[in-house]
Amino acid sequence: MYNLLTKGWRSLLYINSRLYTATIQIISSVRIQTYIQAMNHQSIQNNHGYANGKLFHLFGFIL
């Protein structure tokens, strides 16, 4: 009985961690996409080097 409980608890933790990781990946990818769109919009007004620098800064912040 105890063994079954610990197994269930472990699998529950595993599922939770997987969900957490997936959620973070989805959020960060959406954030990057919106950021890229914003930068592309801004790079029309500014030069392209500025947008690339900003994008590099964002990726450095995530990693």
pLDDT at 63 over 60: no
φ, ψ dihedrals at 47, nearest 5°: -80, 165
Distance CA 59, CA 36 (A): 11
Residues 16-52: pLDDT tens digits? 888 888 888 888 888 888 887 877 766 655 555 555 5
| pLDDT value of residue 51 | 54
Distance CA 18, CA 24 (A): 10
Distance CA 8, CA 12 (A): 6
- The total of other beta-carbon atoms located within 10 Å of residue 46's CB is 11
| pLDDT value of residue 46 | 54
Distance CA 55, CA 61 (A): 10
Domain count within the chain: 1
| pLDDT value of residue 42 | 65
> Residue 49 is part of which domain span?
2-62
